[in-house]
Amino acid sequence: MKHFVFLLTLIISLSGQAADLGRGLRLMPVQDNGRIKPYDTFAQETLEVVYGKKKYEERAAWEVVLTWMLAPQVWGEKELFEVRNPQIQKALGLDEHRRWFKGEEVFGNERFPELMSDLRSRRETKEKLTPYFQALQRIESQFFVFREMAEGHLLRVMPSPKGDAWLSVADLESPAREAFGDVTQKFVLLLGSISTGGLAADNASLALDQSVAHFQELVHAANTSGVQISQTGLEMELFYNDFHPFRWAYIFYLIAALCGIVGWILDKKAFSYGAWAFTIIGFLTHTFGFALRVYLAGRPPVSNMYETVVWVAWGGIFFASALELIYKPRFILLAGNLAALVALVVADTAPAVLDPSLQPLEAVLRSNYWLIVHVMTITISYAAFFLAFVLGDIALIEYIKEPAKQQPAKMKAMVQAIYRCLQIGVSFLAPGIILGGIWADYSWGRFWGWDPKETWALIVLLGYLAVLHGRLTGWIRDFGLVVCAVATFSLVIMAWYGVNFVLGAGLHSYGFGAGGVEYVSAIILAHWLLLLYVVVLQKGRTSK
Amino acid sequence: MKKPWPTRILKALASIKLAVFIMVGLIILIAAGTIIESRLDAEAAKKMIYDTWWMTGLMALLATSLTAVLIDRWPWKVRHVPFICAHIGILVLMLGAVLTVKFGLDGTITIPIGEDSRYIVLPGQTDILVYASFGGNGMTKLHEEAVDFFRHPPTVENPVRINSDAGTIDLIDYRKYVLPKKQVLVTDEATAGAGVRFQIQNSRVSVVEWLVQRRPEAMATHDFGPAQIHLGVAPTLGRGKNEIWLTAIGDKIHWVVYRKDADEPFAKGVTEEGGKVQTGWMGLELRILRYLPKAREEWDFDEIDHPTPLTTSAVKVRFLGKEHWLLLDDTLRLFTQTTAYMVSYLHRRIDLGFPIALKSFEMVPYEGTSKAKEYRSHVQLPGAPEEVISMNEPAKYQGLTIYQASFQNDESGKPVASVFSVNSDPGRVWKYLGALIISVGIIWLFYSRRRPKAAATTKDV
């Protein structure tokens, strides 16, 4: 634990070099999307909407977003607006090889009003929005967000005596208006000195901090409605933004996996210690990040795809470690590391699909014990199936290698581990589905309603039960189980991802988003081709 | 040596191969159900997959197979307990499901704020109702029939036929998904009222609408928030509202404007088709775009191949050689010289036997947004103290459970009605019991089999 704390401090001091500049501003409470968040989070989320990234050309979001308000005309000249949908690029006559465009190229385009009216009439039909219209919708919100930010309406910085909606910068009255004006001036001074760095930047940052502090005094004085602004919460969130716990976790898992792979190839036990050490460090960081998110959201974070992916990665490591300790073949831990690595990398790199921002929950999902229990139980079963899938992949590679090099004992152990994973998965999934029924009964008075999400969870259960039963009849032997572990995971992908992103229908629609379908399908297809190849290979060998 | 045939049948039913076949069959069937739901809607998936004899048959086979496997293990030994739990639990759960389907009730009720209601609507079940009125005030029910046009649509060759004194009323066609739009036609029926297509506009608003009277003396109204516009017989004094009255007399339209603060007309006059009237009030200009002294409203629609929140279904009615379209949850009026017939195509409604009154409704949004954080209904049930129903906090009354399902709001986002689901579920206990037994069974089963048996060594299967 001591080492862990030391390591954490080291990481933070490494990653937080320039982080202290503008700290006061970044911590400033802002009301946005139904909660109070630090300006830093607001800026990242806003930049993400418009630009598709959390940084603009190496400049942090907090440096960029406020300048939209101060110098909108300058930003009109920059390639700030991300347009990726080829259909829209074509419709607007944009260069298909570029990803970012000037505001004028997009919103000043003569066809832009036409596209917006297409979108409106599509909305009036209440039809589901196709990816094209979803992309149009994004452009609409890019336009809206940038304009509102530039005009000072988006940034809500001060509690209002009139209601629970805070006052935006544009609505501020004296003396708050002057105080905020001073903040922006000091902010501009800091921006000027950041590039040179050194003492000038430190002093400018200090001046900005003081100016923000002065403004915050006015905010606290105005905060008569009793809204709690938790300073600790803001600081924790800023820390969470800077620290990237899940990124560190996957880096450690990557190192652990590399140790595992080298150990596997060289067949040396010594590497397993390294793998264990990094797995443990990664797991602690992972758990810490998870706990931090629970604290910030005020609820267990299993309410959208991003959060379940992080949770499944956690479960993968947990089950892998437990099984490795019980059975001691080294590749289970390796499989766990690879599973968690893949899941966390995907979560970190696909923010448009897996939205990492903390969103307010739908009313039906709030403060509900059964909800949390059923989602966590079902998704943790996916972790076990994921582990079986990765183990299956490793076993397939073993099968591809020359049969002479195959070690029957090792294969037996691997097959046994896969079998165990499937059992663990089923024994979480079945109660999880039932708990979901109990939740539905409790919330809606209906135990089962053939909702696509619950139906697909049942399909997964039936699929794995069929495999387990097939094993009992002797239809599925060792090689068959490996194949099934990989093949049946397609059902999990469908239940977990496909229902939301491909089917996009049903009561569980609060988790819905779009995108990434082509990548996911390609991965599934690649696995099926791999399976086909190995099956044919194996058939050829046995017939000889 | 061959075993006797009952044993062989039992063995066949208890075989794992059959179990795997059933599981794979279920997977294919319900996966298709989810795809249909995503293409169409939940009701289509229900009628095409989940409520079919395919599904029922497979479920019955599953129950038979489970029963067979349990009999096959007889006499049960202690080591069989987890196995028996995992399998018997499914049977108990299925028993609960059967009880729910047979004896349960599951409907929704929408109550506007400040009002009450005693009828719940059952989704997916529809009725055709025909009433006749022979001149007087009385209405006679001629016909009531449960129909499932989704599965069994009427056709010209095979119509749904309802006998009346004036001839048969035939339902001859059905469309699943239509986008309705009203159409106003000229008619020569003596009983028809007038129709006016008007435009009212000032610098901020512009509204174009039809007003059609059902009978010559009836009133037709378009409400646009702070003011209403009526077609009918104008009162001589204001009613304390901002109102514009149009009265059709011959080929002229008499108009009068009342304001809510005065009894006397604010302005009045006479106009005709194509006429333009300055009401002198809020700069509103009224134009009569079309005027039909005898008009009839008729549904017209565009048919599409999938449902949206705006689609409904329609059935074609033929009466005395004329054809009319009737939309779901609407009533068609058919006239002869002596009789008026009312043909309704409605979702099934059930009288609860008591009213539910919605006293008030609160919606708490997330701070600074209009997104609902929580909402609750203050409800009055007969002989019970006022109760609060909110998400996950249902009320129980006379064996029914009343859940907060959702709410409806007007265009400004203000809630106007609360939606509840009302149900009774006699299978609940069995489902919970079955669920518990399954869960215990599965976990115990896997825990007790530390070593998975190799395929070849399993003898007692």
Q: What ipTM describes this predicted complex?
A: 0.86
Q: Is A228 on the interface with B (CB under 8 A)?
A: no
Kindly list the residues from chain A whose CB atom is less than 8 angstroms away from the CB atom of residue B309. 126
Phi, psi values for residue B312, rounded to 5° = -140, -175
Q: Which of A387, A382, A392 is nearest to A484 (CA)?
A: A392
Question: What is the predicted pLDDT for the residue at A354?
Answer: 76
Q: Which of A443, A464, A509 to mutate to test the interface with B (most CBs of B within 10 A)?
A: A443
- List, as one string, the DSSP characters of A273-332: HHHHHHHHHHHHHHHHHHHHHHHHHTS-S-SSHHHHHHHHHHHHHHHHHHHHHHH--THH
To test the contact with chain A by mutation, choose from B391, B406, B421 the residue with the greatest count of A C-beta atoms within 10 A, namely B391
Please state, rounded to an integer, the average pLDDT across all residues of chain A. Answer: 86
Q: What is the pLDDT of residues A39-91, one digit of tens each?
A: 999 999 999 889 988 889 888 999 999 999 998 888 888 899 998 888 888 88
Is any Cβ of chain B less than 8 angstroms from the Cβ of A225?
Answer: no
By mean pLDDT, which of A117-121, A208-212, A335-339, B277-281 is the weakest? B277-281
The pLDDT of residue A507 is 46
Chain A segment 450-469 residues within 8 A of B by beta carbon are 450-452, 455-456, 458-459, 462-463, 465-466, 469
Nearest CA in chain A to B34: A452
Q: Given its phi and psi angles, is residue A474 left (phi above 0), alpha (psi -120 to 50 degrees) or beta? A: left
Q: Could A434 and B24 be called an inter-chain contact, meaning their C-beta atoms sit closer than 8 Å?
A: no
Contacts of A416 in chain B (CB under 8 A): 452
* Segment of A22-26, A122-126, B61-65, B72-76 carrying the highest mean pLDDT: B61-65
- Whether residue A516 is predicted with pLDDT greater than 80 in this model: the reply is no
For B423, which residue in chain A has the nearest alpha carbon?
Answer: A445
Check CB contact under 8 Å for A447 and B428: yes
Which letter does DSSP use for residue B373 in this model? Answer: E
Higher-confidence residue: A352 or B144? Answer: B144
3-state secondary structure of B388: strand
User: What does the pLDDT read at residue A2?
Assistant: 47
Query: Would you call A471 and B20 a contact, using CB atoms and an 8 Å cutoff?
Result: no
> Would you give the distance in Å from CA A365 to the centre of its chain?
19
Tens-place pLDDT, residues B149-191: 999 999 999 999 998 888 889 999 999 999 988 888 888 877 7
- Please report the residues numbered 154 through 213 in chain A whose beta carbons come closer than 8 angstroms to any beta carbon of chain B: 156, 164-166
For chains A and B, count residue pairs whose Cβ atoms are closer than 8 Å. Answer: 173
A405 falls in which pLDDT band (50, 70, 90)? low
Which of A75-79, A387-391, A405-409, A538-542 shows the highest mean pLDDT? A387-391
Q: Residue A506: which of B37, B372, B421 has the nearest Cβ?
A: B37
Least CB-CB distance to B26: which of A164, A165, A462? A462
Interval A264-286: pLDDT, tens:
888 777 888 899 999 999 999 99
CB A396 within 8 A of CB A482: yes
Beta-carbon separation of B30 and A474 below 8 A: no
User: What span, in angstroms and rounded, lies between the C-alpha atoms of A165 and A169?
Assistant: 13
Close Cβ partners of B74 (under 8 Å, ≥ 6 residues apart)? none
Cβ contacts of A502 on chain B, cutoff 8 Å? 38
Q: Does A20 touch chain B (CB under 8 A)?
A: no
**What are the backbone dihedrals phi and psi of residue A157, each rounded to the nearest 5 degrees, phi first?**
-120, -5
Residues 6+ apart with CB under 8 A from B170: B159, B160, B161, B162, B317, B318, B319
In DSSP terms, B129 is beta-bridged to: B144, B344
Q: Which residue has tokens 């991802």?
A: A497
Q: How far is A227 from chain B (nearest CA, A)?
A: 10
Which chain B residues contact residue A327 at CB under 8 A? none
Cα A412 to chain centroid distance, Å, stands at 36
Show the CA angle centred on residue A491, arms to residues A487 and A494, nearest 5°.
Answer: 130
pLDDT score for A16: 47
Q: How many CB atoms lie within 10 A of CB A34?
A: 18
pLDDT in tens, B189-222: 777 889 999 988 887 777 788 899 888 888 888 8
pLDDT tens across B11-62, in order? 889 899 999 999 999 999 999 999 998 888 888 999 999 999 999 999 999 9
- What is the pLDDT, as a whole number, of residue A441? 86
β-pairing, B372-380 vs B387-390, is antiparallel
CB nearest to A427's CB, from B403, B423, B443:
B443
Residues from chain B that touch A499, judged by Cβ atoms under 8 A, are: 34
Kindly provide the b/e burial profile for residues B105-137, where b requires at least 16 CB atoms within 10 angstroms of the residue's own CB: bbbbbbbebeebbbebbeeeebbbbbbbbeeee
Chain A hits for B35, CB-CB cut-off 8 Å, are 503
In angstroms, the separation between the Cα of residue B377 and the nearest Cα of chain A is 14
For residues B306-326, average pLDDT: 90
pLDDT tens for A243-266 read 999 999 999 999 999 999 898 888
Highest mean pLDDT among B19-33, B68-82, B270-284, B299-313: B19-33
What are φ and ψ of residue B320, in 5° steps? Answer: 50, 40
Distance CA A414, CA A416 (A): 5
- Per-residue model confidence (pLDDT) at position B460: 37
Q: So what's the pLDDT on residue A226?
A: 66
- Which residue in chain A is spatially nearest to B455 when comparing CA positions? A474
Whole-number pLDDT of residue A352:
67
How would DSSP label each residue in B403-427? EEEEEEE-TTS-EEEEEEEEEE-TT
Contact of A300 with chain B, judged by CB distance below 8 Å, is answered with: no
Model confidence at B458: pLDDT above 50: no
Q: How far is it, in rounded angstroms, from Cα A371 to Cα B124?
A: 28
Sign of torsion over alpha carbons B19, B25, B30, B31: positive
Query: Are the beta carbons of B446 and A423 separated by less than 8 Å?
Result: yes
Task: Calculate how close chain B gets to A497, using CA atoms only, in Å.
Answer: 14
Contact B309 A126 (CB under 8 A): yes
pLDDT at residue A368, rounded to an integer: 67
Within 8 A of A159 by CB-CB distance, chain B residues are: none
CA distance, residue B370 to nearest chain A CA (Å): 9
In this predicted model, what pLDDT tens digit does every residue of A201-235 receive, in sequence order? 888 999 999 999 999 998 888 877 666 788 888 99
Reported as type and span, the H/E element at residue B312 is strand B312-319
For chain B, what percent of residues have pLDDT higher than 90? 41
Q: What is the pLDDT of residue A11?
A: 53
pTM equals 0.86
Give the pLDDT score at A3. Answer: 54
pLDDT at residue A462 greater than cutoff 90: yes
Confidence at B459, pLDDT banded by 50, 70, 90: very low
Point out the residue among A127, A471, A473 whose CB comes nearest to the CB of B308.
A127
Q: What is the mean pLDDT of chain B?
A: 87
- How many CA within 13 A on the CB side of residue A89? 14
- Output the pLDDT for position A538: 83
Nearest to A301 by CA among A316, A279, A286: A286
Q: Among B392, B418, B440, which would you mutate to test the A interface (most chain A Cβ atoms within 10 Å of its Cβ)?
A: B392
Question: Is the predicted pLDDT of residue B393 greater than 80, yes or no?
Answer: yes
